[in-house]
Structure 1
């Protein structure tokens, strides 16, 4: 087994275990996990227009590679004026904008739905609120 497959299986196993430990099932049979968040993995919006995200577990701050959710990205300048917005499917969390944004100050990432989707099983995992992250660019 190559290293990539090993880590893929390991992340799936860890996530499956975390679902069993942290999620609960309501009467309607939905999986619920309010312990998820967007996480910035890499950010270079000002110089190259790049932003890499993941969906992470709040408890251990680890990215969960098999989760996705459609989301919007809003980028603001220091005056809180919107300078960029875009919609993403969530299949690829390594974003490359059409241009660099040298005046970017704040990024707001908002999920389009109150759930994430497990890419392996296509199971929806619900949250009370859609995931959202506000990040001040350093």
Structure 2
């Protein structure tokens, strides 16, 4: 049973990368650009951005799964909620802390994977409008960003 629960968490975690990609490309850079544009244009007036609203949108299904799953003898919904929540934690650590340095931690991470994540995100942020974007995912990085020279770091 534990193996199935771990598998549910892992499948959910991996699936969340697809959900994040889809939401980023078609919702944040589409209908909800008004909330996301300050993240690209640095229009923020303080620590928080309008874009931070998406944290709540993504957190609600995780919280609901955890809560409903706990009330129902830790059924599958709990493990799905845990996968969503763990992805949210990874997203926060990578996007907000590592890439955007909202907290001054992990500044000197110097392995190939972390360099590729930074490169891909910089390429994404070079576009200041909602059109012509690229690299909408977070943890999955196209191989070309591993091969790029260090000038984009």
TM-score (structure 2 length as normaliser): 0.27
Q: Which one has the bigger helix percentage?
A: 2
TM-score (structure 1 length as normaliser): 0.29
Q: Which one has the bigger strand percentage?
A: 1
